[in-house]
Chain A
Amino acid sequence: MNEEQKFFKLLRYSNELKINNKYLDNEDPEAFDTLLNFLVIIENNLHYSEKQEYIKLTKDFLADQITADNFSYSFIAVYEGINDKLHQMQIEESLELANFLKCRRRKLGKLLSLVYGSCDSYSPDPDITMADETELKHYAQILLVKLQEQ
């Protein structure tokens, strides 16, 4: 059984459990870890496939064409939008998922996750914010360099 077949088998099993209001992590944690590793690879590649969206967004922010608040909302929209697409493909057990199982792109995934965390923590309200504009710009610069070099 190759990687692709293994992935779809686990995905099918996970979906069947969910129908019965069960979760693979509780039933078979090891199998869940394997499935999760596949999903992380797919997720990273899906984000990379939309790199032009991220590049455009970070450029606008670094050129002060949009505010930090708008950048945070827009970044979250792209990041969550791609993950919603992944989730839908999981439910449908889409064969297209196999196209995103090749390259790992771990560093990009890690960086995008950090930027998402900062965007989520950013607020214009100084009383509750846990990330400031400087932090967002710092991450935006790193992300832009990383996306342009790949």
Chain B
Amino acid sequence: MRLDFEKKLAHIGLIIRLIFGALTPFTSKITEQQIRPTITQTNSEQSLIVAIDINESEAGEAQSEFVFPGSQLAIFTPSGNIIMNIPRGGTWKFNPGARGRGAAKIESTRRQRNFAATQTKTKVTTTSTQSNGNVFVNGFLPKPQHLSLPNKNNGTFGKFFSPPTIDPRSQPGCAGGGPRSITVLSNGRNLDSSTKFKTFDGYKVELTDQSENHVTGKHGHKFGVDNLIPMDSNAKQTKYKQTRTRLNKRNKQTVRQEIDDVISNRSGNTKVYNDVDIRGTKGRVYHDQLNNRVVAIHTQGKFKDQIKKAQPISPRHLKSLREFNRLD
């Protein structure tokens, strides 16, 4: 019995020796002096065993000085004794750095998808944001407070940008017409914006966005727009229905263009009235004779050099304008 026990013990010892003994040839070419300069201790305690990747710098470039065939990683004690090398040959990339970063990338993608999903869906998913238990993942995972905000145009890691799709119908040689999809960029017009014009007699004037809304709403139907909004339920029914033009980009653009046509004298039928009394404020009035409409610009006061009126003109108004230089 005792002989059998001793034999079994010897076998176990042989197996252990075979296992650990097989690793020693990989360390044979490394000297303590070669390794020491590359040691980076992550803990000040001397008893800690540190591991370094001596084949890759932080930038991922090979450092030929420390390259030795068949071994990329050394595990050693604080005193510098190598206790283990992890073999790495050919294209096989087994090291905690590469593996950890790869796993972290996958995990980070998963987290960001979950985060984006909770932001866009009303039904919150119950996907855990904890790591998958991989020890390499934790070291490279971004902290929740540092997660980049999901952006549909920025790709998963904010490296990719998808440019706006260009409407093919807007390209030269393509037939236009009909509704068009227009990509609106972030620098679109806002409430404070205004359009600058130059009149045919050399004055610089502007149309603020608010005034543009005003003239479009009230007189858009007289400036090339046929897009009225339904009558207000608060309004009483009359023989002549309210004409309130819908305020949208297209309608406003049409009115803007028509105003420009009048003050630029594109039809050749615009007549200018200077020094006009526009409800108590001095201004200039551009009369589109062909279409019976006027554009009035203040030349003094709070709205100096602003287009304040764009309206049709009645015979009564025109007579007042011609005889008394006045526009009610």
Contact = CB atoms under 8 A, between A and B. Distances in A.
A73 B239 contact: no
Nearest to B240: A81
A109 B266 CA distance: 32
B239 A53 contact: yes
A128 B269 CA distance: 29
B234 A120 contact: no
B198 interface: no
Given A78-B238, A120-B309, A127 B210 contact: yes
A49 to B, nearest CB: 11
B63 to A, nearest CB: 67
Contacts, number: 115
A51 to B, nearest CB: 12
Contact of B241 (A37, A77, A116, A125): A77
A116 B328 contact: yes
B320 interface: yes
Nearest to B213: A125
Interface in B85-116: none
B284 interface: no
B25 interface: no
Nearest to A121: B279
Contact of A40 (B243, B311, B319): B319
Given A21-B269, A73-B244, A128-B214, A113 B239 contact: no
Given A74-B242, A128-B214, A80 B312 contact: yes
A39 B312 CA distance: 15
Contact of B234 (A43, A70, A112): A70
Instruction: Please indicate which of the listed interface residues A26, A70, A82, A116 has the most CB atoms of chain B within 10 Å of its own CB.
Output: A70
B218 A73 contact: yes
Query: Chain B interface residue count: which class?
Result: 35 or more
Contacts of B65: none
Interface in B275-328: 279, 289-290, 292, 308-309, 311-312, 314-320, 322, 327-328
A39 B314 CA distance: 9
A114 B328 contact: yes
B250 interface: no
Interface of A: 18, 21, 23, 25-26, 33, 36-37, 39-40, 42-44, 50, 53, 56-57, 60, 65-67, 70, 72-74, 76-83, 86-87, 109-110, 112-114, 116-117, 120-121, 123, 125, 127-128, 130-131
10 contacts: A21-B268, A33-B322, A40-B319, A66-B236, A76-B242, A77-B243, A112-B316, A116-B328, A127-B210, A128-B208
